[in-house]
Each structure stands twice: as C-alpha cells, then as structure tokens.
Amino acid sequence: MKKSIRLAGLVVAGVAALVFSFAGTSFAKDSVASTTVAQEQTSKPEDYKYVGSDWLNTKDLFVKEGEVYLRLAPEGAMDAPGPLLLPKHLGEKYLKNPKAFSGWIVHRYVKYLQFPNLQELRFDFHDSKNRFQGTASQPYWLP
C-alpha cells in the first residue's frame, strides 16, 4: 500500500516511517496514511517556508580565517548561494571535534523578502539525537 503525508501543502510519497519535530518536541510514527495541514494555519506570507532537510555532510564544512562555514553549492558555482557562516558556538565545537557533527540534520527554510529577487535562507541545525543546536541565516539574491 502506497503511503503519503501532506504537510504545509507538500506531499511526500512512500513514507514508511516518519520522524518530525514541532515546537521542540519530536514525534515518530511507523506509518502515516494521510495528514493535511492547511497552509493558512501554519504560516503567514512573511514567515519562513520549509524547503527540506538533509544530513549534514561534514565534507561541506570548512575553516577560513578561524571561522567555520558550510558550503551550500560546489566551489565556483555560478548563481548559487555563497558559503554559510556557522554560529560561533557551533564553529568552536567543530574546531574542537569535527567528528561531533556526524549524524546531524539541517532543516532548510526560505523567506521571500519584499525586495525583488531577494530571499533569506535559514538553516536549523539538529544533532544526531534531534536536539536543536542553533540557527544560521543569510540573504540570497536570485539570478
């Protein structure tokens, strides 16, 4: 049986197990048939929109002039966001033990600003136990 979930207007098909967090609380469900959350209930036009989550690839983290950055696109990519500066406490943690970031998850959000072609990108970092560790954001000019 094909399963799907609908969250804030997004549909993910083939979900066998679902783990998500809301307001700092984690939820897990073995199977989900269909869940609908109306867009009007979850956000306003000026709010951030969830665009996805990825495992944090520690190969994309690098140090430049004592600061730790996350590479958002391949080096030298045209029309792509530049590297993201990690919050100071996360940078210090990475400098002490880079392997501590293994198994981390990054949730990505976008906020459309009132200027043409300008977005604000926000990244929430969660450790391997899904505990919130910090947020970093940066503006991005669309091509």
Confidence of residue 17 (pLDDT cuts 50, 70, 90): very low
What does the DSSP 8-state code read for residue 46? T
The predicted-structure confidence for 20-77, as pLDDT tens digits, reads as follows 444 444 444 433 333 333 334 444 556 899 999 999 999 999 999 999 999 999 888 8
Indicate the pTM of the whole model: 0.65
Greater confidence (10 vs 73) lies with 73
Quick check: 142 pLDDT over 90? no
Quick check: 102 pLDDT over 90? yes
3-state secondary structure of 70: strand
Report d(CA 125, CA 136) in Å as an integer. 8
Q: Which residues pair with 22 in a beta bridge?
A: 25
How many CB atoms sit inside 10 A of residue 128's CB?
13
